[in-house]
Structure 1
């Protein structure tokens, strides 16, 4: 997630100091992606350096506020209108763990899947409990409540997809007939030889 663009979009709405900026960011995302004040300040400094925001000194309350420049507003507008690329997915620890587990000797993938499924189901129950505290869409709802409701929906749908993926992994591992790959064995021999040469 782009904290930089999120903060820039908030500053395109109105000038804010770093503490209010952090508070607005966390309120509008339901606290799902907490950021510390140092991260907000360093991000705003980079935005200022790049000419996307300017500092406003307010003598009334002695707090530096920042406002978006025309270039900053243009970049925030471009961010709103540009789809998020799915080609550059981040490193997902669960994906890495399971990819390594299926090729590791002596690791029971079913145990890993079962433990993860239990954890994901627990998270889904938490999301359901939190969702019950938000007004339903047919009732009167504030913008932050609507934002939080949609974030919770995303978490729930992601968890549901993860459970389906875990079921798929469990079934695939049960059906798989693993055979040694000569290409992999050859690559391993070459890697072992390279490691020995480096260690000399």
Structure 2
């Protein structure tokens, strides 16, 4: 879900094509090493089917462009301004959301961080009360340590943003690439 929401967030900047979204996502969420093209286009197909994005024409090279629909824009706005509402926060989603939100204008990264802080704190509370066997105790301890590490990262990022509110956590791409790979030319003879 993180990739889908990240693409929605990036489309708040305007229409884009698949490889453009892929490059932009990876540049902003630098902790990710790769995102395969199959995942990019299957995610875009699902987003079209869900009514979150729509066709926005094509580039001069014939690459299909995608833009947000109204429900897609609402979902992007929610993802960029608040964190999870449950005690099952996800580390990868946290990183994607914070790094992408911090690289875009008009986001509330501090609110996202505060919501994640509350979710990870609640997760730790629940884990400390839910261990009825040695295996559960070991698994809960591992999850608790992961949640505590996430809280430490959240605190460091929050402090950095408070100290430097105009600084972006991730290099902000001022101009999107204009072209992707040219479509293959088919010989119809």
- Please give the range of the TM-score, normalised by the shorter of the 2 chains: 0.3 to 0.5
Q: State the TM-score, normalizing by the size of structure 1.
A: 0.45
Structure in which a larger fraction of residues adopt helix: 1
Query: Greater CA radius of gyration, 1 or 2?
Result: 1
Q: State the TM-score, normalizing by the size of structure 2.
A: 0.47
